[in-house]
Amino acid sequence: MRRVVSLFLPTWSTDRVRRNLGSAAPPAETPLVLIGREGRRQAVLAADVAAQRAGLRVGMPVTRAKALVPGLIVHNADPAGDAEALDRLALWALRLYAPIAAADPPDGLVIDTTGAAHLHGGEHAMLKAMIEIETETALSRAKLRSFCRTSLVVEIDRRPSATMSR
């Protein structure tokens, strides 16, 4: 029976920008969006948690986002850089958790944990560890927990898959 973990990182792009800015990064409570072209207009391509709380959404025109949130921090999106960083995270997961791990662009990882959970204290303990890890972004455990969602997808014989979410 295959055991697969899908790790969803909905603010991957904005977290990466904050990490790259280092000490120059704006505080976590300051809304941050990444922008790029959608057809002929500039649109929000990624929004951090603070921006989402302020009502900003992916796909929104940049001019509208700036009008809704004075002092909005805006950076250009870098999808290629995000994908490269996600590949590095997959390699890290490969070394730490299981012999099969892959990036699931634009914001996730897929880890085949078949036969590896017992090495980490069981499935529940392994999933908890994946969520609670300290990352290079220096996010607190509570913040990482709100940014990261895992699902354990289990396929048994040819029956539909069951999903356990955290």
63 and 84 share one domain:
no
Whole-structure pTM over 0.75, yes or no?
A: no
pLDDT value, residue 155 = 41
pLDDT value, residue 161 = 43
Reply yes or no: is the peptide bond before residue 27 cis, omega within 30 of 0: no
Task: Give the residue numbers spanning the domain of 113.
Answer: 3-11+80-165
**Domain boundary pick from 47, 62, 77:** 77
47 and 98 share one domain:
no
In the three-class reduction of DSSP (H, G, I as helix; E, B as strand; rest coil), residue 71 is classed as coil
pLDDT tens, 136-160? 333 433 343 344 444 444 443 334 4
40 and 29 share one domain:
yes
Q: Which residue has the tokens 């995000």?
A: 82
- Report yes or no: 125 and 116 within 8 Å, Cβ to Cβ: no
57 and 69 share one domain:
yes
Q: For residues 110 and 34, what is the distance between their CA atoms, to the nearest angstrom?
A: 25
How many domains, in total, are found in the chain?
2
105 and 128 share one domain:
yes
85 and 104 share one domain:
yes
Taking phi over 0 as left and psi of -120 to 50 as alpha, with beta for the rest, 69 belongs to beta
- pLDDT < 50: residue spans in the chain: 134-166
For the CA atoms of 75, 80, 84, 86, the dihedral, rounded to the nearest 10 degrees, stands at: 70
pLDDT value, residue 133 = 63
